[in-house]
């Protein structure tokens, strides 16, 4: 029974990708990036897990700044890249929304924020409002994602010049920002 199931899910993935591409073209722009500050206003209370503060303390929030450092210069030189903070070869994994068309970047979006909430949870323009957010079904339909290992390995892979392997469980624990109120249930 294994083979047909695999075949079916591959077919389904292709169909979904096709449907999404068509949807974006037919229904106007896809969800836009609103920036991490937008999430902060509702996701920074310590009682609910202070997600924003935890993110600012993570390396993801420094991913753009890293590209200006000495190590980045060495990595870039080896690849023939002149300025890592301007080159899409580095930005595509170090900055959320890099390469997205201008109509998908709102005025609050900041490339200097590095890898933000929206790299893992999806661009937020259509789910960040309270009436959508408080209803998980609505939020998911509006683009909210709960990331899994595949989300991480779009960047944590051997195309990263400094890649040393990726252990999902260990790396997830390093960036954990659970809502303690929910964990108690
Ligand atoms: C106006 C307030 C508000 C804003 C702004 C907001 N959220 Fe939320 N969010 C909520 C509420 C309310 C919930 C549901 C209860 C909870 O988990 O705290 C929620 C839940 C979530 C969840 C958990 C979903 C689940 O499976 O339970 C994620 C992830 C999330 N938000 C991400 C974001 C991101 C990323 C942004 C910024 C793009 C954002 N939120 C902006 C209010 C907000
Ligand atoms: C958009 C690309 C991108 C995605 C998606 C992404 N990361 Fe990262 N991650 C990075 C970059 C870039 C760095 C390095 C930042 C720096 O050092 O400046 C990093 C660093 C980290 C670090 C710090 C490593 C260390 O040495 O301490 C952890 C932990 C991590 N990521 C976990 C995750 C997990 C878990 C996921 C998925 C849930 C994920 N990342 C998704 C780009 C990404
Ligand atoms: C495929 C995604 C990807 C690309 C492309 C990428 N990086 Fe990274 N980068 C990462 C991730 C993920 C990390 C954190 C873990 C790791 O090293 O794999 C990281 C970490 C780094 C670090 C910190 C290394 C450390 O050990 O803390 C530097 C410096 C860096 N990258 C520079 C660059 C430069 C310069 C470029 C462009 C020439 C670039 N990266 C392109 C994903 C990427
Ligand atoms: C590197 C990827 C990554 C980034 C960046 C990130 N998250 Fe998450 N987030 C996760 C993962 C992984 C989970 C846990 C998913 C699970 O348990 O299935 C999570 C869970 C959550 C939850 C649910 C917590 C709970 O216990 O119900 C909220 C709320 C949330 N994130 C908000 C945010 C906000 C706000 C930001 C930015 C300030 C952010 N996240 C940045 C990967 C990320």
Q: What is the pLDDT of residue 184?
A: 64
For the segment 176-184, the average pLDDT, to the nearest whole number, is: 88
Q: Which ligand is nearest to the CA of 92?
A: 3
pLDDT surpasses 50 at 79: yes
* Tens digits of residue pLDDT in 103-145: 999 999 999 999 999 999 999 999 999 999 999 999 999 999 9
Give the end-to-end CA distance of the chain in Å, rounded to a whole number: 38
Say yes or no to pLDDT of 26 above 90. Answer: no
The pLDDT, as a whole number, for residue 8 is 45
176 pLDDT more than 70: yes
Residue list, ligand 1 pocket, CB within 6 Å: 34, 38-39, 41-43, 48, 117-118, 121, 124, 128, 130, 133-134, 136, 146, 179
**Which is the closest atom of ligand 3 to the Cα of 71?**
29
Q: How far is residue 11 CA from its own chain's centroid? A: 25
What's the rounded mean pLDDT across residues 83-92? 98
Q: Which residue ranges have their beta carbon within 6 Å of ligand 4?
A: 36, 39, 43, 49, 51-52, 55, 60, 115-117, 119-121, 146-147, 172, 175, 177-179, 182
What separation in angstroms does the CA of 160 have from each of 36, 40, 145, 166?
Answer: 24, 29, 24, 11
Confidence class for position 185, pLDDT limits 50, 70, 90: low
Residue entry with tokens 């980045």: 72
Mean local confidence (pLDDT), 43-49? 97
| Dist CA 152 CA 58 (whole Å) | 15
Lowest mean pLDDT among 16-30, 31-45, 91-105: 16-30
**Tokens (6 digits) for 97:** 């929304």
CA of 79 from ligand 3 middle (Å) equals: 12
Res 30: pLDDT? 87
Mean pLDDT of the chain, nearest integer = 88
Q: CA-to-CA distance for 119 and 97, rounded, in angstroms?
A: 7
**Which of these, 77, 116, 82, lies nearest to 100 by C-alpha position?**
116
pLDDT digits (tens, 9 = 90+) for 3-18: 444 444 544 444 444 4
User: What's the CA-to-centroid distance between 84 and ligand 2, angstroms?
Assistant: 17
Name which residue sits closest to atom 31 of ligand 3, judged by CA.
Answer: 162
User: Which residues does 24 contact at the CB level (< 8 Å), separation at least 6?
Assistant: 30
């Amino acid at each position: 029974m294994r083979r047909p199931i695999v075949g079916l899910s591959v077919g389904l993935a292709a169909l979904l990708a096709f449907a999404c591409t068509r949807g974006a073209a037919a229904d106007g722009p896809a969800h836009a990036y609103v920036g991490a500050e937008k999430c902060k206003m509702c996701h920074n209370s310590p009682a609910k897990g202070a997600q924003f503060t935890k993110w600012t303390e993570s390396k993801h929030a420094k991913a753009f700044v890293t590209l200006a450092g000495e190590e980045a210069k060495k990595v870039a030189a080896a690849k023939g890249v002149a300025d890592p903070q301007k080159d899409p070869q580095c930005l595509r994994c170090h900055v959320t929304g890099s390469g997205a068309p201008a109509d998908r970047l709102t005025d609050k979006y900041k490339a200097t924020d590095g890898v933000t909430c929206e790299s893992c949870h999806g661009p937020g323009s259509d789910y960040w409002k309270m009436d959508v957010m408080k209803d998980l079904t609505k939020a998911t339909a509006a683009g909210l994602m709960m990331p899994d290992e595949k989300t991480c390995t779009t960047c944590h892979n051997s195309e990263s010049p400094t890649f040393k392997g990726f252990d999902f469980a260990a790396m997830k624990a390093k960036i954990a920002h659970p809502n303690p109120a929910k964990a108690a249930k």
